[in-house]
Structure 1
Amino acid sequence: MARPLRSLAAGLALGAAALTVAATPAGATGTGTVTVIHGVPGATVDVCANGSAAISDFTYKSQKTLSLPAGTYDLGIVPTGKPCTASNYLATASAPLAAGENVSVVAYLTTSGKPTLGLYANDLSAVPSGQGRLVLSHNANAPTVKVVAGTSTLVPSLAPGSQAAVVVPAQSYSGVNVEVASSGAAAISNATVPVTADADTIVYVVGDSSAGYSTVAQSIPLTPSASVPGSVVTGNSPVGTTHDLPLAGLAGALAVAGALFGVSLRALRRRRA
């Protein structure tokens, strides 16, 4: 185990890069897929698109997937029942959607406790047969974390708003520690998570220290392929103050890294609101 853990740690440290997704060109045709995830605790909202309510009575930890024509959408969330007007918006974002694209939009709390919308272009590239891609998305009002297995640092820095992904054989994994990056204090350890073959499993960590932390899982089927393994994704966001993180679901998501052999790293992060 020590050898692949060291290889993974080296790949994570050397391969980080940023990728900005371009806006959909005017006149684009076809449809794309948008999944909206509600990660703001204690609020029931309506999701607005171009000034009209697209999803009503949206509750915490819910998700909804929509097929929409390609184009650019002005998105916002308002308290449920309120008109979709500027004075009512809790958070807004402009979301370009290309034909055939799969995008996730996550409403969550920043490290200052304010609602925001995070936009992510999901990786639809095939993974080797019998493997799956696990994506961890840090959308909680919590500090940057790192993931350690023994003496190897697997994920040195996962900031709020960032994502990290690994491609591994489809099975359940366990056995890593998650620490607050700024202090080294242990937050969680030793949990399990199943990885589905030929699919993306995206685990969104949401919530805050007062309401508690939770996870929301999204699954995206992929076309089976014998292609080379996919990548690890990461990004940077402002770091908040240190909290204790009772994130059992986060430990399970990150535990998959313990069995990874030779993974590379790249960024697919969508521009945030």
Structure 2
Amino acid sequence: MNTRSVGAALTASTAVVLAVTAAAPAFAQPQAAGEQATVTVLHAVPGLTVDVYAGDKELLPDFTPGTLTDPMKLDAGSYDIKIFKDGDGPKGTPAIEKTVDVPAGANATLVAHLTADGKPALDAFVNDTSKIPAGKARLTVRHVAAAPGVDVRANGAAVFKDLQNPKEAKGEVAAGTVSADVVLAGTDTVAIGPATLDLAEGTNTVVYAWGSATDKNLALKTQAISGMHSAPSGVPAGETGQAAAHNQSMTLGALSLGAVLALGASAVLLRRRNDAS
């Protein structure tokens, strides 16, 4: 799918699903001061660069595919967001315009990606931050590519089978370095990889398979979420067992791509102000 067709599909799909919000402030006051969420966003739509606005103010220009933002601590509250194809704002018609709520206490990654048949989509995934046994690591794989079902292999052995877009699978494995690849489900046909993954003890390593099989741009993106050690840290693990897969996805609700992008952009602006002072 080329850039023009992806952009047109995104505009059409969001116009149907999202209600336009008029006469709302660019940023509403947080609903509960001190209550925050931790949010990361991944732009996984190949060939589509976007500009993000709050009201008529540009916050995040040229947000490019393959970009994963740093985790952000965000105040809970409501935000009025406009997202344009690169160069179309602020006077053009936004692809997305909506007032959204960001709930307190969430730890999530929001992903703009392609469905299995190549249509732009938004999905939010809850990041598992529960404690991990000593000597172990958590591996999470998310299928967000325009591709059929896949098997995910570690050191040549399938640990997650027949993973479908936009599902995830996760399990606890021995900490260490593994060689991972993605193959078409039930075959040895490699679609992505191999790639070396450092599965650190007490860390949830999230691997995203993204891109388009048709356009031959499939790729992996990794996200590391740390701080889940169980005491005592560093106890050697026993034999590596089969990772227990658990498929789940969370539909887009209070979190939205626009909210996270705009809030992340405000952090960028703050850093720019600090650099200038």
Which TM-score band (shorter chain)? 0.5 to 0.7
Match of 1:157 among 152, 162, 165: 162
Classify the secondary structure of the residue corresponding to 2:139: strand
Query: How far apart in 1 are the matches of 2:91 and 2:247?
Result: 34
Of 30-39 and 70-79, the range deviating more from structure 2: 70-79
Classify the secondary structure of the residue corresponding to 1:261: coil
Report the counterpart of residue 33 of structure 1 in structure 2.
Answer: 38
Q: Which has the larger radius of gyration?
A: 2
1:83 aligns with 2:89: yes
1:114 aligns with 2:94: no
CA contact (8 A) 1:111 1:143 kept: yes
Matches of residues 132-151 of structure 1 in structure 2 within 5 Å? Answer: 132-147=137-152
Question: Once the two structures are superposed, what CA deviation does each residue of 1:216-260 show, in whole Å capped at 9, x if it has no partner?
Answer: 211112232149xxxxxxxxxxxxxxxxxxxxxxxxxxxxxxx74
Matches of residues 92-107 of structure 1 in structure 2 within 5 Å? Answer: 97-107=102-112
Query: How far apart in 2 are the matches of 1:142 and 1:170?
Result: 29
Matches of residues 1-273 of structure 1 in structure 2 within 5 Å? Answer: 27-29=31-33, 30-47=35-52, 53-65=58-70, 66-71=72-77, 77-83=83-89, 87-89=93-95, 97-147=102-152, 154-174=159-179, 178-180=183-185, 184=187, 186-188=189-191, 192-208=196-212, 209-226=214-231, 260-261=240-241, 263-272=243-252
- Report the AA paired with residue 111 of structure 2: V
Report the counterpart of residue 3 of structure 1 in structure 2.
Answer: none
Return closer, same or farther for 1:121/1:177 CA change in 2, 3 Å cut-off: closer
Report the counterpart of residue 24 of structure 2 in structure 1.
Answer: none
- Report the AA paired with residue 175 of structure 2: A
Return closer, same or farther for 1:73/1:137 CA change in 2, 3 Å cut-off: farther
Query: How far apart in 2 are the matches of 1:197 and 1:190?
Result: 22
TM (norm. structure 1) is: 0.63
CA contact (8 A) 2:170 2:243 kept: no
Classify the secondary structure of the residue corresponding to 1:64: coil
CA contact (8 A) 1:41 1:211 kept: no
CA contact (8 A) 1:32 1:67 kept: yes
Question: Once the two structures are superposed, what CA deviation does each residue of 1:60-90 show, in whole Å capped at 9, x if it has no partner?
Answer: 211213321124657664212333799421x
Query: How far apart in 2 are the matches of 1:193 and 1:50?
Result: 41
Return closer, same or farther for 1:219/1:200 CA change in 2, 3 Å cut-off: same
Query: How far apart in 2 are the matches of 1:145 and 1:55?
Result: 34
Percent identity (aligned): 31
- Report the AA paired with residue 271 of structure 1: T
Query: How far apart in 2 are the matches of 1:74 and 1:203?
Result: 31
5+ long unaligned stretches in structure 1? 1-25, 228-258
Query: Using CA pairs below 8 Å that are at least 6 residues apart, which structure has the higher relative contact order?
Result: 1
RMSD: 3.7
